[in-house]
Chains A and B, each alone.
Chain A
Amino acid sequence: MGLNMDLNEIWRNCLGELEVTVSRPNFVTWFKNTFLADYKNGVFTVGVPNFFYEDWLKRKHLQDIAKALSKQVNNPNITVKFKIGNPTPDQTVAFSDDKVIHKPVDKPRDAEVSFTSQTLPQNSTLNSYYIFENFVVGSSNQLAYAAAEAVAKKPGDTYNPLFIYGDSGIGKTHLMQAIGNYLIEKQPSIKVLYITAETFINDFINAVEAGSGKAKHFKNRYRSSDILLIDDIQFLSGKEQTQEEFFHTFNHLHQNRKQVVLTADRTPKAIKGLEKRLQTRFEGGMVADMAPPDFETRSAILKHKAKSKGYQISEDVISYVAENIKSSVRELEGALTKIIATCELQKCEVNLDSTVKILNNIIETNRRAISSDIIIKETCRYFHVNEDDLLGKRRNKEIVKPRQVAMYLMYHELGVSYPDIGKIMGGKDHTTIMHGDKKIALEMKTNNQTKEQIALIKEKIYSNI
């Protein structure tokens, strides 16, 4: 036992190293059910299930295995042999697909060495980059950030569940995982389970298919977590059986004051095909929205990102990118990565000229994809006015607001100049356009209703692409 434990430890470390160099499918296929059978006089004997594995490992990975093993025992002159056989129970290095990313380490169960315990952090599904310190707070995400921080400090206590919603790519997952990462750091024994709703659904289906034994395992897995983080919960929509199961899981955790955090792309109410009882439960804690970042936040994100990559990027480049890429943080980061990578490749300096050139494609497609026609059409549809009125000269209250909204949108989304907008809008003076734009811009800051209206129309416009 003692010796086997040592061999297991060596093999586990060795696998940890190999996992980095070997592709995931290859790793899972070929190293599953392998074990270290023996180590004597500088000769390692690796146990494999059958000929196929022996042949493959000899042919493709002998060097890697030898290197990793020799590192483990600090002996450059080792030999690796293979033996076909089954491991004894205490030689088993369990390969589980369990997504439990963090298990208590003080109680190893039986002699089984779990592959997913924290000794191999690369197996964790929490991204270590997603911590609170790396999250750029702005007016658009302040509330969600504060709520997440509160939850992380007092899990199960303040807001349970915490429901974060917003468009894709604006940092919901980042916040959610930040809670997990924060808690793991503070309490290493805590069990954090991070999954996507899709995984939950698949797990559930598998458990049902496999019968009662697996179903119990499924229940235990989810119900024994201290913190349950589920991404994209809107995918539960229409999955009645899974919702039923989730309802019980949720209740169990909630009653035991375990924290649940959920994200979705819309509010609980707006998720069609979600049972009422789940909806009310989701709304029972804290529902926090995240809007796309504003210009200042976008700039701050870019600066932060550039700094973390070790780059100093000038203000004008930051402003240009922040001004032109608006939809999500993901795109913003993508643009920055593209700029840095291209400049590095072409060995040119990161400046405004190169940036404009590199981003030309991305920005142009965004611009070209929507047109003034679409803006006019969607604005009219939203406010229920007809196009002729919108482009006409009447000044009723019902028509003035939509008209100004269209001006605002053309200016900000298309980047058309005031005089040109004037022409499009049926021959109006550029000062009229400017006035309309400024009025809406002001309302965007003060009037929530306007803010929401604009967001909805924009969503429609971009869904046209």
Chain B
Amino acid sequence: MKATIIQANFAKALNSVSRVVSNRTTLPVLNNVLIEAKDGKLNMSATDLEIAISAKIIGKVDSDGIITIPARLLSDFVLNNKDKSIDISLNGLNLNLKSEHFEANIKGIDAEEFPTIPASDKKSFVKIKTTELTEAIRKVSFAAANDDTRPVLAGVLFKFTDKELLLAATDSYRLAEAKIDVAEIKEEKEIIVPARTLNELNRVLSSVELDGEVEIVIDETQIFFTVADIRLVSRLIEGSFPNYNQIIPESSKISLSADIAETLSALKMSALFAKDIANNIKLHIKKGELIIKSAAGESGDTTSKINADTSGGDLEIAFNARYLIDVMNILSGKKVEMKFNDDSSPCIISCDKDKNYLYLAMPLKTDN
């Protein structure tokens, strides 16, 4: 293998793939990135056995070859190298990297030892605008469960219906749902994508130009996202997503509209005092105002008052502050709308500007 690569292009490709390199040490080859030169093209891939990311490296290829190289060391060498271009050449298992001021030989591991990066012969299922997909993921994936005790809850539902893609995630205490309009969908389909995959995807997407499109290919057990020169593959989660529609109340008695920024800062203030009591805070909805209190914890208590348009009467309801702060952080409009029935029914949160987004939080049950 022999090739010449502009340092910036090398660094960019490494940035895209090396995040997924696993930290586990059981199998050394998984700490490596796979570099392959073939048919005049240069590719780099990495995997943690759940997700794989491949990126094309733009460069001049003189001869073919394949090797795996420790990702950390290669990144450190390339990122700290300020020369304009780097020549790489493979001698046995050693990759020689040479630029104007630096030269290094990095010991690699035979590519035979590296897992196969999956490919699919299926045709593109759908194309989605990068901005819209990124936004929907950002608004939904945080609501997924952090652990794997119930595998489907650690994922995000992708439901393709006529001209629409719906994303939903829940950890059984809260639920987030976002919809994206899509021009053309070939068939109705429901899949569950690991939330971790989507968070990785968003990181990758943050480094590419946003006015493009993400191409999605769906296999029986895997999903492929392709954007620009980068492709991300992940397993899908097996199982069926809980039918959450039944817990969304059809009507609500009490409603409230308040400034998002004000609500967020009041929530954060209360949360400060609620750390040692499981983030337990109380919302008092009164005529024309919203009072947020932290129940007395060891550190003391606090009360915040903000103006709000209310209707339907007064209510006292307890929440885990985290569940409200998370959603306020991602709402993009000016006003938040909250709808309640009583102190033991879920609260629906939406935003005046974003009709395609819905969030639902279960209240905390308190004894008094």
Q: For residues 199 through 256 of chain B, which have their beta carbon under 8 Å from a beta carbon of chain A?
A: 220-222, 235, 238
Contact A53 B151, beta carbon cutoff 8 Å? no
User: Considering only CB atoms, which chain B residue lies closest to A83 in the complex?
Assistant: B221
Which of A25, A26, A59, A84 touches B116 (beta carbons < 8 Å)? A59
Q: How far is the CA of A51 from the CA of B238 in the complex (A)?
A: 13
Q: How far is the CA of A55 from the CA of B116 in the complex (A)?
A: 7
Contact B238 A52, beta carbon cutoff 8 Å? no
Interface residue range, chain A? 10 to 19
B54 contacts partner chain A, Cβ-Cβ < 8 Å: no
Contact A50 B26, beta carbon cutoff 8 Å? no
Q: For residues 429 through 456 of chain A, which have their beta carbon under 8 Å from a beta carbon of chain B?
A: none
B47 contacts partner chain A, Cβ-Cβ < 8 Å: yes
Q: How far is the CA of A59 from the CA of B111 in the complex (A)?
A: 13
Known contacts A56-B115, A59-B116; is-contact A51 B235 (Cβ 8 Å): yes
Contact A28 B26, beta carbon cutoff 8 Å? yes
Contact A25 B26, beta carbon cutoff 8 Å? yes
Contact B238 A86, beta carbon cutoff 8 Å? yes
User: Considering only CB atoms, which chain A residue lies closest to B48 in the complex?
Assistant: A52
User: Considering only CB atoms, which chain B residue lies closest to A32 in the complex?
Assistant: B26
User: Considering only CB atoms, which chain A residue lies closest to B116 in the complex?
Assistant: A55
Name the prevailing secondary structure of the B interface residues.
loop
Known contacts A55-B118, A59-B116; is-contact A49 B235 (Cβ 8 Å): yes
Contact A26 B221, beta carbon cutoff 8 Å? no
User: Interface size (B, Cβ < 8 Å)?
Assistant: 18
User: Considering only CB atoms, which chain A residue lies closest to B114 in the complex?
Assistant: A56
Task: Report A-chain residues with C-beta under 8 Å of the C-beta of B235.
Answer: 49-51, 84
Which of A25, A29, A59, A84 touches B221 (beta carbons < 8 Å)? A84
Task: Report A-chain residues with C-beta under 8 Å of the C-beta of B26.
Answer: 25, 28-29
- B362 to A: closest C-beta gap in Å: 23
Most buried by A among B26, B28, B30, B52: B26
B162 contacts partner chain A, Cβ-Cβ < 8 Å: no
Contact B116 A56, beta carbon cutoff 8 Å? yes
Q: For residues 41 through 96 of chain B, which have their beta carbon under 8 Å from a beta carbon of chain A?
A: 47, 49-50, 52
Contact B28 A51, beta carbon cutoff 8 Å? no
B278 contacts partner chain A, Cβ-Cβ < 8 Å: no
Contact B222 A50, beta carbon cutoff 8 Å? yes
- B223 to A: closest C-beta gap in Å: 11
B27 contacts partner chain A, Cβ-Cβ < 8 Å: yes
Contact A52 B221, beta carbon cutoff 8 Å? no
5 sampled A-B residue pairs with Cβ under 8 A: A50-B50, A50-B221, A50-B235, A52-B49, A52-B115
Counting from the closest, the 5 A-B pairs by CB-CB distance are A50-B235, A29-B27, A55-B116, A84-B221, A25-B27
Interface contacts beyond A50-B221, A53-B49: sample of 10 additional A-B pairs, CB < 8 Å, sorted by A: A29-B24, A51-B221, A52-B50, A52-B115, A55-B115, A55-B118, A84-B220, A84-B221, A84-B235, A86-B151
